[in-house]
Every structure is written in C-alpha cells, then in structure tokens.
Structure 1
Amino acid sequence: MSSTATETLSVVVEREIPFAPEKIWRALTQPHLIEAWLMKNDFKPVLDHRFDLRADWGTVDCRVVAVEANRRLSYTWAAYGLESVVTWTLTPTGAGTRLRMEQSGFRPDQQQAYQGARQGWPNFLDRLEQVLARPLAG
C-alpha cells in the first residue's frame, strides 16, 4: 500500500511519576513552572488561548485545544512548517501518575523535526521530573 500525504507520525513518551496529577498539572500549566522545564511562555490553561513558547532557536506558536484539569491538556505546536498537536494525558495510579505526552502531526518529509522531537521530549520530561521533585509553592 502506498503512503499518502495524509499519513503522519507521532512521538509518544510515557512516564510513571510518583506525584499526584494535581501537582503535575501545575507544572504543565503555570508559566513560571513551564519555563523551568520547557521554554519561556505566556501560557494559560484556557480553551483557544494563543501562546508562544520561546527558546534561543526560535518561537513555537501554540493554541490550547483541550483542557480537562488534572486529566488532559492539548495544544497546537507550530514552528518551521511543522503543524502538530501536543497532548498530555494524566492517569492516576497507585504510586502516583502515569503521564503520557504525544506530539502528533509530523509529515513523512519532516524527519528532522520528528527526530528532534523524539530526542527532545525525553529530555524535557527529565527536567519536568526535576521540577516536580523540588518543593513547589501552591
């Protein structure tokens, strides 16, 4: 079967994290905490809110497309021709939370962006876990 232009790739990273969903949610939605593990931003967990993620290499244009407090967060992620969606899913477990990050929408001709995301997200999640391990206000 030949591949079509509509076929896209996804990057999925899942972690079991020994913290409650509420604590992880704060780190995913509070701008000063997002900056500590991901990038500078003007994020708000509000449907249709447009925000930027800013790094040395450039800016990611984003828009919130789903917000379910402590359960699911989804936003578009557009940069350098990449039109993708990042979805965070938080599932409570006996030991804490299963955190799942999926970035979907990589076209087959966007191998550089795809490989960059495959390498980048595990590093971002490592930093997220370090932020969670610190005593957080709130």
Structure 2
Amino acid sequence: MGFPDQIVRTVELAHPPVKVWAAITTAEGLASWFGDTATIDLRPGGTARMTWTEGGHVANMRVERVEEPSVFGFTWHIYGLPEDDPRRTYVEFTLEPAGAGTRLTVVESGFAQLPEEAYQAAFGGNTDGWKSELGELVEYLDAA
C-alpha cells in the first residue's frame, strides 16, 4: 500500500499532565470535549462509549493501555466501514511534561489495512476529526 498508516498530532497544553490525564481518561472529561456523553472503564480490556448528539454517532471503544499519567490507548471502529466490520484502529495518547504544561501526542494507527476507497474516507475524516477534537480539548482545558 502506498499511503500512510497513521495520523500523528502533537499539541502543547498550558496545563499539568494530571489535568490533561483527567480530561482524556474520565467520562466527565471526555464528554466535555470529545463527545456529548461518555462512559469508561479505565483498565486494559475495559470498555468505553461516547455519543454525539449531532448526527447520532456512537463510538464503542476497548481500552488497551493505561499507564497513568503518561499513556492511554484504545481501539475503535474505523470511520466509514460497516458497523459489523471487525477492523479497528488503535489510538494512543502520550503525555509528557513540558515546562509547566504538557506535550500531548495523539497517534492513530491501522489505516494501511484498508483498501484505497475505504482508506480515503477513514484517513481523511479522522485527520480532520483530530484537528477539530484537539482544538476542543484546548478550549475545554483553558476554560476549566
């Protein structure tokens, strides 16, 4: 395949890792910037679910990695594929202290498993999605 397998986004946040960790790993935090409602069982093998009122979208996730307060990873359904398709991408948040704030890197991988037409929709949609969602995370943290 001749296309990238992963989306990588890094953002500098003016908040300590403990505050960023809470925003990305708690139901309250996730529902404040990522979805409209959220549930999460924060342990490897645990489940998480987010819903968006606009469009009625639901994301069911499986928690894969929890290394508080520096790494959180999950798998989820690939945008654009039928709901019963077993393929998933892996999303990992890495938090690093950066002065008084945090450098947050988000990597979503697993796109190379897709045929080109499905790849274009999933990779393009999620590239735009992470830009938007991380902007919302910054707004949420700055307002709190």
Q: For 1:62-109, what per-residue CA distance to the aligned partner results, in whole angstroms no more than 9, with x for missing partners?
A: 100000111000000114345101100001111411100011111352
Structure 1 counterpart of 2:19: 23
* Identity over aligned pairs, percent: 27
Report the equivalent of 2:57.
58
> Structure 1 stretches (4+) deviating beyond 6 angstroms?
none
**How far 1:57 moved relative to its partner?**
4.2
Of 41, 46, 63, the residue aligned with 1:44 is: 41
TM-score (norm 1): 0.86
Q: Distance in 2 between matches of 1:74 and 1:126?
A: 20
Distance 1:26 1:11, change over 3 A: same
Alignment of 1:1-138 (within 5 A): 3=1, 9-39=5-35, 40-55=37-52, 56-79=55-78, 80=81, 81=85, 83-106=88-111, 107-109=114-116, 110-135=119-144
Cα distance in 2 between the residues matched to 1:72 and 1:58: 26
Unmatched runs of 5 consecutive residues or more in structure 2: none
Distance in 2 between residues matched to 1:51 and 1:96, nearest whole Å: 27
In structure 2, the CA distance between the partners of 1:93 and 1:108, relative to structure 1 (3 Å rule), is farther
1:42 counterpart SS class: strand
TM-score under structure 2 length normalisation: 0.82
Q: Is the 8 A contact 1:14 1:99 kept in 2?
A: yes
Offset, 1:121: 0.4
Normalized per residue, the structure richer in helix is: 2
Q: Where in structure 1 are there 5+ consecutive unaligned residues?
A: none
> Structure 1 pair 89/52, CA: closer, same or farther in 2 (3 Å)?
same
Q: Deviations over 1:25-76 (max 9, x none)?
A: 0000111220111112211321110122222342222100000111000000
Q: Which moved more, 1:87-96 or 1:72-81?
A: 72-81
